[in-house]
Amino acid sequence: MRKFISYIKASRINGAYLASQLYRPYKKVWLRDHAFITIALMIHRISVIEEIWWLKNLLQKETLKVRHILELGKNHKNFLDQDLHPRARYTPDFGTYNEPWSERQYDGIALAYGAILQFENRFGEQVLSEETKKLYDRYFLKVFDTPCADIWEMHDSFIHVETLGSIHYALKFRLDQLKEGTVQRADLSNFLSHLRTQIYGFEQDGVLYKMKKTLSSERPFGLDSSVLLLFTLFDVIHDPDIIQCTIAKLYHHLSPEGVGLRRFIIGSEKDTYFGGGVWYILNFWAAQCFMKMKQREKAVSALRYRFRFPLPEQINDDSLIFSQKAKEKWIQKSKRENGGIPGPADPLTWSNSEFIRVFSDIMI
């Protein structure tokens, strides 16, 4: 565990975490990743003061954008312009990038907000002003039912259940800060109840699906392992039948060997990033689900997959363990697909932080 924590800390610059310190395309601060890492370290009782202050400065910097969005009507032609919203990625010094990635992701900004609120509630220290909090409260109430990019920076014309779960996660901590009997608390409580109802609307035949075009759409669709967050960290859905049916469906379609989980399958669209391999972080979320279902052996097995073989994350070709020729072929393929840079990222910083969070939860 000390090695995991040491690696995580080595990825920090100016209080912010790089998605990967070794893989050049990922030497950026994904707001989502940074928030996950901060939350995991805080739960593990490791000081996160520098991390929280980086998030505070970022949220304060982006208040001008939030104010502008609050002034626009939702039908305004520029309402969904990603440059008008807080972005998904930053430099450690709060600069932005000009690359062809989807940048409007509500989950990243929601998790950043949630991490600060959780820190405030846990340590009794005010980080954000009440005025700033009210701005972000209004922002999430306004944008939650509009489309944005998903957790993988894809499918930005849809509403994603993981995004709704991240907003719910943040605003639960905010609700705890508001005084009983106030209009503000009542309004937020009512909104959270409405949001939970909308989240349950992504369930179909016992399975929690990924996305909808609009919240009023009849049927959700798409299998995505990120929905496991609704059962684990976000803690929105507690129904054991939905957890059981969903994880069974995910493993049936996204885990050919029955242990390592892939990201998604949406109709005929499959994850093709480096062959659509296993992402360790998905195994960790699955491990928590197994613990909720009192299946400890499966939970431990899912965690142990992290040490199954010395291959990079997202790669599922076991022949690479034994064949230097196959390994060299994969390296050349990865270079072609990434502008001469061998990949993919190994390790991802948020995978290491989620490992220590889930490991502690399961071992305790």
Helix (H, G, I), strand (E, B) or coil at 93: coil
Q: How confident is the model at residue 24, as a pLDDT?
A: 78
Helix (H, G, I), strand (E, B) or coil at 87: coil
Q: Is the pTM of this model over 0.75?
A: yes
Helix (H, G, I), strand (E, B) or coil at 264: strand
Give residue-wise pLDDT tens across range 55-77.
Answer: 999 999 999 999 999 999 999 99
Q: How confident is the model at residue 23, as a pLDDT?
A: 77
Q: How many CB atoms sit inside 10 A of residue 301's CB?
A: 17
Dist. CA 320–CA 315, nearest whole Å: 9
Dist. CA 247–CA 257, nearest whole Å: 15
CA distances to 152, 260, 298, 323, 355 from 307, rounded to whole Å, are 24, 12, 15, 19, 11
Report yes or no: 216 and 202 within 8 Å, Cβ to Cβ: no
Report yes or no: 324 and 353 within 8 Å, Cβ to Cβ: no
Dist. CA 360–CA 39, nearest whole Å: 13
Q: How confident is the model at residue 186, as a pLDDT?
A: 97
Dist. CA 189–CA 79, nearest whole Å: 26
185: exposed, middle or buried (Cβ count in 10 Å: 0-12, 13-18, 19+): middle
Dist. CA 211–CA 4, nearest whole Å: 33
Dist. CA 41–CA 205, nearest whole Å: 36
The domain ranges of the chain are 2-363
244 DSSP 8-state letter: H
Q: Just give the CATH number of 2-363.
A: 1.50.10.10
Dist. CA 105–CA 21, nearest whole Å: 23
Q: pLDDT in tens for each of the 364 residues of the chain?
A: 788 888 899 999 999 999 988 777 888 999 999 999 999 999 999 999 999 999 999 999 999 999 999 999 999 999 999 999 999 999 999 999 988 889 999 999 999 999 999 999 999 999 999 999 999 999 999 999 999 999 999 999 999 999 999 999 999 999 999 999 999 999 999 999 999 999 999 999 999 999 999 999 889 999 999 999 999 999 999 999 999 999 999 999 998 778 889 999 998 888 877 667 788 899 999 999 999 999 999 999 998 888 876 566 666 555 555 567 766 777 777 777 667 766 666 678 999 999 999 988 776 5
Residue partners of 325: CB distance under 8 A and separation at least 6: none
Tally of CA atoms within 13 A in the half-sphere of 317 that contains its CB: 15
Q: How confident is the model at residue 74, as a pLDDT?
A: 95
